[in-house]
Amino acid sequence: MRLPSIYVGPSLISELDRALRLEWIVTNGLGGYSSSTVLGVNTRKYHGLLVASLNPPVDRHLLLAKLDEEVKVGRNVHALASNEIEQDRMEPEGYRYLTCFSMEPFPTLQYEIDGVYIKKLIFMPNLKNAVISTYSVLNSLGEPVDFRVYPLVGLRHIYTVRGEEAGGLGFHQRTSRRAVYVGLEGLEWGILISSTRGCYTQHQAMRRLYFRVDASRGEASTDVVYQPGSFTVRIKPGVIERFHITASLEPKVEGEREHPRTISSEDVIEELYREELERRRGILRTFSKVNPDIEVEDWLGWLLLSADSFLVFRRTTGGRSVIAGYHWFGDWGRDSLISLPGLTLITGRFGDAREILLTFKRYCKDGLIPNSFPDRAGENPTYDSVDSSLWFVNAVLQYLKYTGDFDFVYEELWGTLRSIIDSYIEGTSFDIRMDDDGLIAHGPRLTWMDVAVGGRPITPREGKAVEVQALWYNSLKAMEALATKFGQLSEAGRYSVIAERARRSFNEEFIDEDRGYLFDVLRLDGSGDPTFRPNQILSVSLDFAILERGWMGRVVNAVWRRLWGVYGLRTLPSDDPRYRGRYIGGWLHRENAYHNGTVWAWLLGPFVTAFLKVHGYGDRWRRFAYENFMKPLLVEEVYRVGLGCVSEIFDGDPPNEPRGCISQAWSVAEPLRALVEDVHFRRPPFEGEVLGILG
């Protein structure tokens, strides 16, 4: 199975500002990653050659900011490194020697300096907090050259930077001929950096880095990193020298003995490289096996590899979870469960799906699935979400449609599912409760539009949010089907009665006849909030749709006409006075725009599902949906900013620039699910059996 590739050539590399917007990321399945730009210039505090998770998949720390290289030919020293040390000041400017950047599938930078040709490939072994940089250096000259590599060490949390006043800040190192262990006073861990060739020389210094992206966001944008020394490899005339530099998270070692190397030999490194290549090929092969009629073009290959990057190991459960987005999000309940079908089910990774469901089941409390997990060990999850539990029920339903594994659901999940529904009926935390009309009432800032500034929710949506009711009805009908399957007919009857009451109330109370769409929220006083938002699309897209059929087409067309934003749906129409068309500037401006006009790619999934549902999945309409709705995001976006990735959000205004995280789980998962299930019409194999339980 051929792996996808991306190539960035000299013409684009020569456009500095444009090239600095092209970012890459490689992940390790633990929440850690390696990431920078195609020029090797770090433009965010989150960029780093090795970012390791101390409490997988969270508590991530920047261990190694980068490796800076130089070539010494005779008396001339040429720097390959490029670092922006203050605004619009690059020093050195090694990017001028860069001839190309590629991903095949790992990030590879190639340089040429006066007859010396350098190739640098970066990869991370799966499930190891380590990164390996493989160098191939061709010396076509008639004299030897010295190739030097300078590690720049951070040892800080990814959310913070180190000010210039920090000085040496207690860094210390332990060295051997080809390795150095760098620690920091007060830490029980550090970084081990080693080379398979040459020798290490200690000569420490502090280096300044400036992050232009953080500066544009009004955030701290200067960091100070520690340069402990350098590795030197002599390259003889007319030969190609190949060697590896490995960096890994290691515990502190007491005493004078040399620090052990966890990745110690070229043979081990080569085997790790082959294993990671084969693991990635296996991802594509598995997809092709379950979807044999879908050609895995390069853009689709990148989406599948990107989907894999979000599936991570969670130490507290010993199973899988889902990182919501890179670089800064952890594993969030809502995001994980919305993403589960696209990341695991349409890709044939059913074991991973089971583990994710068990991870979130374990932390269910008072009928609530966690909204987010803490960054550090020993802290408790947060539960401030009204819909995460309902997305959990939906994820179980989707799992059954793909596997027919009723035994697993009954034995492992049925009790949790019942506790969720009972807690919503009886009432639980955050004023979440079923009202007399069968609909779910809740407090403010509990939906996915949950931003607050100074404690004040920007989109409070207190009362009865439209998508919560859609998810509630879908959950009740799913529970009715499962109770019927499990022979619990009285329970099935109870769920059926509540579902019918909720459906009737919804269609009586949420439809705005005058405006031709649905209220976004029913307020606590019973009035409807007429703000036109995309949340109503879920009343059509879910398996058990709460909206009466006669209104489905009207809602879909209204959303299409007023909220379509090239790469997804806007969160407000442009004619709303609260609309913010660009997600730029400082924190306050960005937070106000986040759910008030910004385009969200994840909404493309339910929109395409709803659109094709009302058009009967005809061939012509499926082609139309692909060409007009999906192609811009899926085919273009993977080459636009985060290479091989899909961004979190986009500006509402043209040209709809990518913003937020460069790689977001549900931005990949939901469009990917809709592509397979709806556009290619590859329906889940047990869908008829599962949905047909209710006749």
Instruction: Tell me what pLDDT residue 167 has.
Output: 58
> What pLDDT does 644 receive?
97
pLDDT, residue 168, reads: 58
| Lowest-pLDDT range of 219-228, 260-269, 382-391 | 260-269
What average pLDDT score do residues 430-457 get? 94
The pTM is what?
0.95
Mean pLDDT of 176-200: 94
pLDDT of residue 641: 94
Average pLDDT over residues 515-539: 97
Residue 202 pLDDT greater than 90, yes or no: yes
DSSP, collapsed to helix, strand or coil, labels residue 101 as strand
Mean pLDDT score, 132-143: 96
CB atoms under 10 Å from CB of 407, counted, come to 8
Task: Please state the separation of Cα 421 from the chain's center in Å.
Answer: 29
- Give dist(CA 238, CA 141) in Å, integer: 6
The pLDDT value recorded for residue 260 is: 60
Q: Give the separation between CA 248 and CA 260, rounded to whole angstroms.
A: 11
Q: Which of 371, 361, 366 is nearest to 329 (CA)?
A: 371
pLDDT at 378: 73
Q: Which region among 135-144, 196-205, 439-448, 583-592 has the lowest average model confidence (pLDDT)?
A: 583-592
Helix axis angle, 604-614 relative to 665-674, nearest 10°?
A: 20
Write the pLDDT tens digit of every residue in 457-512: 899 999 999 999 999 999 999 999 999 999 999 999 999 999 999 999 999 999 99
Residues whose CB is less than 8 angstroms from the CB of residue 12 and which lie 6 or more positions away in sequence, other chains included: 18, 19, 22
pLDDT over 90, % of the chain: 92
Q: Which pairing describes strands 179-184 and 171-176: parallel, antiparallel, or unpaired?
A: antiparallel
User: Which residues, at least 6 apart from 61, have a Cβ–Cβ distance to it below 8 Å?
Assistant: 51, 52, 54, 154, 155, 156, 157, 158
Average pLDDT, rounded, for the chain: 95
CB 145, CB 165: distance < 8 Å: no
Q: How high is the pLDDT of residue 375?
A: 77
Structure token pair of residue 32: 């850690």
Q: Is the pLDDT at 575 greater than 60, yes or no? A: yes
Please tell me the predicted confidence (pLDDT) of residue 678.
98
- Of the listed ranges 129-143, 157-171, 599-613, the least confidently predicted one is 157-171
Q: Is the pLDDT of residue 256 over 60?
A: no
Looking up tokens 């909030």 gives 529
Domains in the chain: ranges and CATH: 6-277 (2.70.98), 291-694 (1.50.10.10)
- Paired with 663 in beta bridges are 326
Q: Which residue in this structure is represented by tokens 């636009």?
A: 640
Other CB atoms within a 10 A radius of the CB of residue 72 amount to 16
Characterize 259-291 residue by residue with b for buried, 16 or more Cβ atoms within 10 angstroms of its Cβ, and e for exposed.
bebbbeeeebbeebbeebeeebeebbeebbebb
With b meaning 16 or more CB within 10 Å and e meaning fewer, what string describes 206-231? bbebbbbbbbebeeebbbbbbbbbbb
pLDDT at 350: 98
Burial annotation 161-188 (CB, 10 A radius, 16+ → b, else e): bbeeeeeebebebbbeebbbbbbbeeee
Strands (E), 16-97: 23-27, 33-37, 48-55, 58-73, 76-79, 82-86, 89-93
Which residue in 667, 342, 674 sits closest to 541, CA to CA? 674
Average pLDDT over every residue of 627-656: 95
Distance in angstroms (rounded) separating the CA atoms of residues 189 and 572:
47
**pLDDT surpassing 70 at residue 43:** yes
Whole-angstrom distance, CA of residue 485 vs CA of residue 682: 25
As a residue count, the chain comes to 695
Q: Peptide bond preceding 105: is omega within 30 degrees of 0, i.e. cis?
A: yes
